[in-house]
Amino acid sequence: MARKQSSNFGRGGAYKCDCCKRATRATGRGDNEHVGLCAECYDLYGEENHLADSGELYSSPAEVIRLFEAIVAAGGKPGNKFNSVLSKAHATL
């Protein structure tokens, strides 16, 4: 089955993040692109897991908020799934 190639999207390591739906690019870090997430969503998933396990953020509240702002600034929509992480960041800032 032939795949339609109507744009350059998908070349050069660019892809759409599964979570925030923005176009992103492989970072070469290796982890996030394998699961179809941008680097910021990947980190937020990590934060969510850590928060669920330990009740604490993995990195600083300021870093968590920076991740959200980076997604929104790039036209992404983090959605509701990271609400607990964001609330925790604001509560502990």
Catalog residues that contact Zn ion under the rule CB under 5 A: 17, 19-20, 38, 41
Which residues, in sequence order, are bridge partners of residue 23?
Answer: 16
Secondary structure element (H or E) that encloses residue 16, with its range:
strand 14-16
Residue closer to Zn ion by CB (options 19, 64) is 19
Which lies closer to Zn ion via its Cβ, residue 35 or residue 62?
35
Instruction: Kindly tell me which of 56 and 79 has the beta carbon lying closer to Zn ion.
Output: 79
**Least CB distance from residue 71 to Zn ion, whole Å?**
6
CB 53 within 8 A of CB 74: no
Q: How far is the CB of 93 from Zn ion (least distance, A)?
A: 22
Positive or negative torsion for Cα 80, 84, 61, 28: negative
